Structures are given as C-alpha cells and as structure tokens.
C-alpha cells in the first residue's frame, strides 16, 4: 500500500489553546490494520514526555481517537485526549515546566505501522496559552514581582490574583489561560523569582496586599472585589489574604491547608507561626520516595491553634477543591475543617468539591499528570498521589467550576 495517502489530522486545527480538546484522526490506512499512535513533547527544562496507544483501523481504513478504543499502551479504551494527559516524563519525578507562555507547547504526534514500527504519518499540535491580542505585562512595581495578563476587548474585566506553589517561582500557564476567559490575571511570585529571596525566613502579608492594590488600580480591572486562585502552600496564603485584607470577593483554594505552613506569616503586628510537622509520620514508599501525607498535625488542636488562619473573618466566597488521594498532605481534612469553621460562625459562603482518585497538583486541563516530584519545603522528591485518568478528569471538571465560580462572584 502507498504511505502517501496516509494522513494524521488534528481537528479543528493544528493550532489551539492549551485547555482545548482536539480530535486526532488517521486516514488512508488498510482496513482493520493495527496502528500505534505516539505523542511527545519537550518541556522548557528539556525533559521529554511521551505517550503511546495501539489502535485498529475501521473498515474504511480510519482511526478516530474520539470514537475508537485504545487496545493497549499508556491507556486503554476510548480516551479522546489520552495522548495528551497520559504524557509521562522520561526523567522520573518531573513536572512539566513552561517558563514563558509567549510560545506554544508543541506536541508531536506520529502514526506507526503496528507490524513494522515504520512512521506512516506525523503532525504537530501547537498548544497556545494566549489568545490573539492578549497583553502579557511583566510587573516590577515596588516590591511586587509577577506578570499581568490582560485579555483583548473593551473591558473592564474582573481581576484575579494567581498564586502558585512554594518554590514554584512564577508559573504562567494557568494565569494566561484564565485571562483568555475574560479576566485580568496577575500571576504573582513570592519566592525565588528575580530579586525575591530564594529561602525567605518569613512572608509578609503586606506584600500580597500591595499586589491586590496594584491589580485593583489597573484601568482594565473592574471592581470592587478581586478573586484569588491558589494551590498547595499558597492556598494558606489565599485564605490569609481573604481573612485579613479588604476587597477580596472570591477565593479558590486547591489542595491547600487551613493553617499557615513552612515559614511564619506576618501582617502588621500579627505573626502566624507555621504548623509544625510530625517527622515520624513521614513514610518512605517502596520506590524510596517520601510520603508526607500525614506529616502535618490537626491544626485545631490547642497546641497548634496559633497556626490556624482565622477564616471566620473573611467576607468572600470560597471554593475548596480537594483531591482525596492527595499525598502532599490531607487536603480533604483541612478543607472540611475550614468549612466547619465558616459554618460555626454562621457562614455558608463556601463550596467544597472533592475528586476521589486525583492527586495533589490539579492543573489546567490536559496538563500531564505529575505523580511525584521535588518538594520545595521538604527538599527531596515526594509522592503526590492520584491516578492519571481520574486526575485528568478532575482537572477538566475543576477548570469549568473555577470559571463559573469567578463569573458568579466577580462579574456582577
């Protein structure tokens, strides 16, 4: 048969935004022939991520990944975006790094003969972060370090502060993709970025207060209230901002803790010490990784209460998103405790969403799942929990919920 008729198609276009689905098709195969589909990307650190799946052409010589089941490989069954979410790093304990969102992430797709392994067709999916006309503005305003994303169009738009993980420097993908939905988003760094200290001894809430003021001053931002989205360590910062600062209307806390962690948090004359970990509760997995899920004690115990964030003071709406298989810490326990605190103070201003088999890093849709990696506060590789498919589905669901939440409470 002639290979020249075999085509690998990415629909509706080879170019799309990172959070969008694409349809992968192979046409021109011999009927019922087996074909292996492979995906590959190289991140900004040079780490290679790969996935593969075996398919069988239908009677017309076509494989449509939207409809056809994978018979084996990185995943099985009908998984329209399996070649993307199943991408796994060749270097263990690697999380996909995207430093700068001005360039797309390129995912190379190949169709190979199931018998000979010969490459039959290939195509590259350009997964972009910024819609046409979006502005990406590096921010060095007083102490504040970050990047501001302003969507195209008339505006004004609701404003959101995006905080990432401890030791995560600055992460732009989520902020830029959220800005595409009609928000002005400030991706805010707080450690180890430009001239910010690599290992700060404390964090000042005034820094975050300045960031909120800066965002509210932008002419494209409509007030009065600002949103916050945060994950992991910064979840506690988001809860602290919501509790102590004015003008916060809607806070998304993803797999966070309801107490301060890692280093002391200062605000004016208030000091919130970090919750002290119980080192003997750290387990080592069979593969030699640390499992720190149970390292942090119950923050509501008398001896730990100084670390609790007083979220009963907050006047905003909260969305707590938690993964039941989070092994970074027991985020379900912390979210339920936070919800109970609000309820005990007569506040029903929260929603808790749980994802059964998801792990710690709930990212934007189609971001490869990270099962283990370096932990900035622990200083070594740890397990993050979760199963790839369930984790991927959780990311899709949460992304919709985040947008609905911010539109409900900021866009009025």
Residues 37-80 have pLDDT tens digits of: 999 999 999 999 999 999 999 999 999 999 999 999 999 999 99
pLDDT value at residue 100: 87
Cis omega (within 30 of 0) for bond into 82? no
Residue 390 has pLDDT above 60, yes or no: yes
Q: At what angle do helices 205-217 and 233-244 cross, to 10 degrees?
A: 70
Question: Look-up: residue for tokens 């993964």?
Answer: 323
179-202 tens-digit pLDDT: 999 999 999 999 989 999 988 999
Is 411 catalytic? The answer is no
pLDDT value at residue 254: 98
Of the candidates 19, 43, 325, 326, the residue annotated as catalytic is 326
**Banded pLDDT at 380 (limits 50, 70, 90):** confident
Kindly tell me the number of DSSP H helices and DSSP E strands found in the chain.
Answer: 6, 25
pLDDT value at residue 411: 79
pLDDT value at residue 4: 72
Torsion of CA 60, 65, 67, 72, to 10 degrees: 100
Tell me what the mean pLDDT of segment 161-170 comes to. Answer: 87
pLDDT value at residue 63: 98
Tell me what the mean pLDDT of segment 343-358 comes to. Answer: 98
Cis omega (within 30 of 0) for bond into 310? no
Q: How many CB atoms lie within 10 A of CB 346?
A: 8
Kindly report the CATH number that applies to the domain delimited by 7-128.
Answer: 2.60.40.2240
Residue 378 has pLDDT above 90, yes or no: no
Task: Give the contacts of 365 (CB within 8 A, at least 6 positions apart).
Answer: 18, 19, 392, 395, 396, 399
Residue 2 has pLDDT above 60, yes or no: no
DSSP designation for 303: G
pLDDT value at residue 176: 98
Q: What are phi and psi of 274, to 5 degrees?
A: -75, 150
Q: Strands 270-272, 265-267: parallel, antiparallel or unpaired by DSSP?
A: antiparallel
Of the candidates 93, 128, 327, 360, the residue annotated as catalytic is 360
pLDDT value at residue 304: 97
Residue 245 has pLDDT above 80, yes or no: yes
Q: How many CB atoms lie within 10 A of CB 255?
A: 30
Q: Quick one: CA dihedral 320, 326, 331, 333, positive or negative?
A: positive
Is 74 catalytic? The answer is no
Tell me what the mean pLDDT of segment 19-41 comes to. Answer: 98
Q: What is the rounded distance in angstroms from the CA atom of residue 145 to the CA atom of residue 140?
A: 5
By the 8 A CB rule, do 300 and 339 touch? Answer: no
Kindly report the CATH number that applies to the domain delimited by 135-411.
Answer: 3.40.50.1820
- Which pTM value belongs to this model? 0.97
State the DSSP string of 1-47: --GGG-EEEEES-SEEETTS--EEEEESPPTT-EEEEEEEEE-TT--
Query: Where on the phi/psi map is residue 177: left (φ > 0), alpha (ψ -120 to 50), or beta?
Result: alpha
Q: Which two tokens stand for residue 67?
A: 């409809």
Residue 18 has pLDDT above 90, yes or no: yes
Task: Give the contacts of 140 (CB within 8 A, at least 6 positions apart).
Answer: 194
Residue 267 has pLDDT above 70, yes or no: yes
90-103 tens-digit pLDDT: 999 999 999 989 99
Domain boundaries, the chain: 7-128, 135-411
Of the candidates 232, 242, 323, 392, the residue annotated as catalytic is 232
Per the document, the length of the chain is: 412
Least confident of 1-5, 65-69, 134-138, 206-210: 1-5
Q: Which two tokens stand for residue 31?
A: 């009927």
pLDDT value at residue 167: 73
Is 232 catalytic? The answer is yes
Q: Strands 380-383, 372-375: parallel, antiparallel or unpaired by DSSP?
A: antiparallel
Fold match between domain 7-128 and domain 135-411: no
Cis omega (within 30 of 0) for bond into 224? yes
Angle at 17 (CA atoms; ends 138, 320), nearest 5 degrees: 75
Q: Which two tokens stand for residue 8?
A: 């690998």
Residue 379 has pLDDT above 90, yes or no: no
Long-range contacts of 11-16 (CB under 8 A, 24+ apart): 14/123, 14/124, 14/125, 14/126, 15/104, 15/126, 15/128, 16/125, 16/126, 16/127, 16/128
pLDDT value at residue 166: 78
pLDDT value at residue 3: 65
Nearest to 294 by CA among 201, 387, 229, 385: 385
């Amino acid at each position: 048969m002639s290979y020249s008729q075999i085509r690998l198609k990415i629909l509706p276009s080879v170019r799309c935004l990172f959070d969008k689905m694409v349809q992968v098709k192979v046409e021109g195969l011999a009927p019922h022939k087996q074909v292996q589909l492979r995906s590959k990307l190289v991140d900004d650190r040079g780490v290679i991520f790969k996935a593969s799946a075996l398919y069988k052409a239908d009677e017309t010589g076509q494989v449509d990944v939207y409809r056809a089941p994978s018979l084996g490989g990185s995943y099985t069954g009908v998984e329209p975006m399996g070649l993307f979410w199943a991408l796994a790093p060749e270097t263990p304990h690697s999380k996909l790094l995207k430093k700068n969102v001005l360039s797309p992430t390129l995912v190379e797709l190949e169709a190979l003969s199931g018998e000979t392994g010969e490459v039959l067709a290939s195509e590259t999916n350009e997964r972009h972060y910024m819609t046409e006309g979006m502005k990406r503005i590096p921010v060095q305003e007083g102490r504040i370090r970050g990047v501001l994303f302003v969507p195209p169009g008339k505006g004004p738009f609701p404003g959101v502060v995006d905080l990432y993980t401890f030791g995560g420097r600055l992460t732009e993908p989520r902020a830029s993709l959220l800005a595409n939905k009609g928000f002005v988003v400030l991706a805010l760094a707080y450690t180890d970025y430009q001239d910010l200290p690599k290992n700060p001894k404390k964090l000042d809430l005034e820094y975050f207060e300045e960031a909120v003021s800066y965002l509210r001053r932008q002419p494209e931002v409509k007030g009065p209230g600002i949103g916050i989205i945060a994950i992991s360590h910064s979840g506690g910062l988001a809860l602290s901002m919501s509790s102590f600062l004015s003008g916060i209307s809607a806070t998304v806390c993803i797999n966070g803790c309801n107490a301060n962690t890692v280093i002391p948090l200062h605000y004016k004359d208030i000091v919130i010490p970090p919750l002290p970990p119980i080192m003997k509760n750290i387990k080592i997995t069979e593969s030699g990784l640390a499992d720190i899920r149970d390292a942090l004690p119950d923050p509501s115990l008398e001896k730990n209460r100084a670390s609790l964030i007083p979220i009963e003071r907050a006047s905003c709406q909260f969305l707590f998103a938690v993964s039941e298989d989070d092994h970074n810490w027991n985020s379900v326990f912390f979210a339920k405790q936070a919800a109970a605190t609000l309820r005990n103070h007569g506040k029903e201003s929260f929603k808790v969403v749980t994802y059964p088999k998801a792990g710690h890093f709930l990212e934007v849709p189609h971001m490869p799942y990270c099962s283990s990696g370096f932990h900035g506060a622990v200083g070594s590789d740890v397990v993050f929990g979760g199963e790839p498919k369930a984790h991927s589905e959780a990311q899709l669901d949460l992304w919709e919920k985040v947008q609905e939440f911010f539109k409900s409470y900021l866009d009025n």
